[in-house]
Amino acid sequence: MRKERYLVGLDVGTSKVTAVVAEMLDSAGLEIVGLGVAESRGIRRGVVVNLEAAVDSIKRAIDEAELMAGVEIDSVHLALSGPHIKGFNSRGVIAVAGKNREITREDVRRAIDAAKAVSLPTGREILHVLPQDFVVDEQEGIGAPVGMTGARLEVNVHIVTGSQSATQNIVACVNRAGVNVAETVVEQLAASESVLTEDEKELGVALVDIGGGTTDIAIFERGSLWHTAVVGVGGDHFTNDIAVGLRTPVPDAEKIKRKCGCALSGMVDEDDTMEVASVGGRKPRVMARRILSEILQPRAEEIFHLVWDEIRRAGHEKTLNSGIVLTGGGAILDGMPEIAEQIFDLPIRRGCPTGVGGLTDHVNSPTFATGVGLALYGFRNFAADQGRAPIGAGALVRAAGRLRGLFREFF
């Protein structure tokens, strides 16, 4: 079997390691053919804390995915996440070089180079430079300037940076597990590929990925990324609150959360009860489900208020015309969209991966948004490199794809 027909997304999360194998079809589509999921050990909030344990988790996910897909995995698209990921906007300006002032790819490259010539603190590196739009002379909001005429070319970009050592350590773990890293992609960007529609990105949307240890935010408008941020609270905080509040062991707290949890106490019937395991070998107790909700609700409110702070800081509180899309395992919790709707007063939906065929029922959960999105990200770049547009994409997407493809040549 030809390996170049396959794209593999590897998401090494705080809670679980996921390997998604996708096959590129000749009809220009992408089909899921394998999935491997292993409990994550040795990784906390995107940072390796125990190398051996992390390597072992990665190996298990890869092995399972290989078995299911019937192919050998030798390279992956790897997701990067954690509080060390930071994003900011920058602008580059150049004088157009050619005799008749016709803008060439070389001019675009120089403008992007100028935009990314920012000084970073030691130990940090640029992970993505994503062009937002161009300005030719005074004309703003240009998507693809090559071939246009002008004296001055400006580009607005979103730059995502991360800690060099955090990236090196996770890449080293993947290498030790026997696979190469074809490309690294920031988690929110990968997840956005699989859960957001082009219309949402065009109109203005915030993607909120509630993982185990962190909540990752990405804000899109006019088809481009404008803001990335990470909030240091995630789904595991709910579990810990339950463990403390109901005095039950953490694994039981996790089970109760998944089975009976609801983030909005008003949605829970007052007469509903549940059984709670006790610590120290005591007998299980029967408690009202309302109590559980009253523990979960303040945490959900905290996360969404922190997210709202980020949206406001970025100046996007009035531009999210398509509202907010919740994804990641934490978004599965009952009542999350409802409480978010109350806090943001915007349309809210849960985002499950779409845009792929094959074994879709295996990956049809917000937890797999990043894994599937990584494969889609790789596919989009592959299609752009081939000069072929991905399926179902509008003109703007094609422009973005070309930009990224063009940019990748130089970066």
Ligand X SMILES: Nc1ncnc2c1ncn2[C@@H]1O[C@H](COP(=O)(O)OP(=O)(O)OP(=O)(O)O)[C@@H](O)[C@H]1O
From ligand X, Mg ion, none, interface partner of 333 (C-beta below 5 to 8 A by class): ligand X
**Cβ closest to Mg ion, residue 145 vs residue 162:** 162
By the rule CB under 5 A, 162 interacts with Mg ion: no
By the rule CB under 5 A, 13 interacts with Mg ion: yes
Q: How far is the CB of 265 from ligand X (least distance, A)?
A: 16
**Cβ closest to ligand X, residue 143 vs residue 213:** 213
Phi, psi angle pair for 113, to nearest 5° = -60, -40
Task: Name every residue whose Cβ is closer than 8 Å to that of residue 299 and which is 6 or more positions away in sequence.
Answer: 233, 237, 238, 241, 263
Q: How far is the CB of 82 from ligand X (least distance, A)?
A: 7
Angle between helices 235-245 and 250-260 (to 10 degrees): 110
Q: How far is the CB of 310 from ligand X (least distance, A)?
A: 16
**Cβ closest to Mg ion, residue 13 vs residue 145:** 13
Q: How many Å apart are CA 406 and CA 232, to the nearest integer?
A: 34
Token couple for 209: 């990925």
From Mg ion, ligand X, none, interface partner of 14 (C-beta below 5 to 8 A by class): ligand X
Q: How far is the CB of 295 from Mg ion (least distance, A)?
A: 23
**Cβ closest to ligand X, residue 332 vs residue 356:** 332
CB under 8 A, 24+ apart: contacts of 264-273: 264/293, 264/297, 264/300, 264/335, 264/338, 264/339, 264/342, 265/290, 265/293, 265/294, 265/296, 265/297, 267/293, 267/334, 267/335, 267/338, 268/292, 268/293
Q: How many Å apart are CA 338 and CA 347, to the nearest integer?
A: 10
- Report yes or no: 130 and 112 within 8 Å, Cβ to Cβ: no
Q: How far is the CB of 112 from ligand X (least distance, A)?
A: 29
From Mg ion, ligand X, none, interface partner of 332 (C-beta below 5 to 8 A by class): ligand X
Which of the residues 184 through 223 are near Mg ion (CB under 5 A)? 211
Q: How far is the CB of 189 from Mg ion (least distance, A)?
A: 12
The residue among 78, 94, 9 whose CA lies nearest residue 46 is 78
From ligand X, Mg ion, none, interface partner of 213 (C-beta below 5 to 8 A by class): ligand X
**Cβ closest to Mg ion, residue 9 vs residue 358:** 9
**Cβ closest to ligand X, residue 71 vs residue 170:** 170
From ligand X, Mg ion, none, interface partner of 57 (C-beta below 5 to 8 A by class): none
* Bridge pairing between strands 75-80 and 16-24: unpaired
From ligand X, Mg ion, none, interface partner of 34 (C-beta below 5 to 8 A by class): none
Question: What secondary structure does DSSP assign to 185-236, as a single string?
Answer: EEHHHHHHHHH--HHHHHH-EEEEEE-SS-EEEEEEETTEEEEEEEES--HH
Binding interface with ligand X (CB under 6 A): 13-16, 40, 46, 81, 211-214, 234-236, 239, 254, 257-258, 261, 328-330, 332-333, 367
Q: Which residues bind Mg ion (CB under 5 A)?
A: 13, 211
